[in-house]
Amino acid sequence: MVIASTVSILAFFGLFGTYAEAFSTFIAAGLALLLCPLIAWMTRGKYYLARPNAVNAAGADITATHDCAVCETAYELPDIADCPVHAGPVCSLCCSLDATCGDACRKASPGGAVILPMPSVRPV
């Protein structure tokens, strides 16, 4: 997105000519559409997964399904992660929508969790 936005802004200001200036928004959309899978392919998906998947053991059948502990729908191994909060496999959709776990399945940071005070509204 940053690369596509930068190229689009440069095109908008006329760096690549009048035609590129007129189509700068389409250039941004096209570059973003092309660069996302290209970067994923070049890095071999190294930065795609945010959490380790303990459910997906080495040599496991990739087409095998597990039931999500939250929505109870069957998902294939690449689309689930082991969740310590829900004590079982959780699909990527439930994992991204759940705000109560605090990303407990990610590796712990060296400083530990930081608990912030609850915001409050003071009367004027």
Instruction: Give residue-wise pLDDT tens across range 5-45.
Output: 999 999 999 889 899 899 999 999 999 999 888 888 888 77
pLDDT at 98: 78
Predicted pLDDT of residue 67: 85
Question: What are the residues facing 80 on neighbouring strands?
Answer: 91
Residues, the chain, total?
A: 124
Give pLDDT tens digits for 65-108: 778 888 888 888 777 877 778 778 888 888 888 777 777 766 54
In terms of Cβ atoms closer than 10 Å to its own Cβ (0-12, 13-18, 19+), residue 111 is exposed
| In the chain, where the domains are located | 2-42, 49-100
Q: What is the mean pLDDT of the segment spanning 42-54?
A: 66
* More confident: 117 or 105: 105
Element of type H or E holding 39: helix 24-42
Helix (H) or strand (E) holding 75: strand 74-76
Widest Cα–Cα separation across the chain: 63
**CA–CA distance, 26 with 79 (Å, rounded to integer):** 32
Q: Are 20 and 11 in contact (CB under 8 A)?
A: yes
pLDDT score for 103: 72
Query: Is the pLDDT at 57 greater than 80, yes or no?
Result: no
pTM of the model: 0.45
Q: How far apart are CA 1 and CA 31, in angstroms?
A: 8
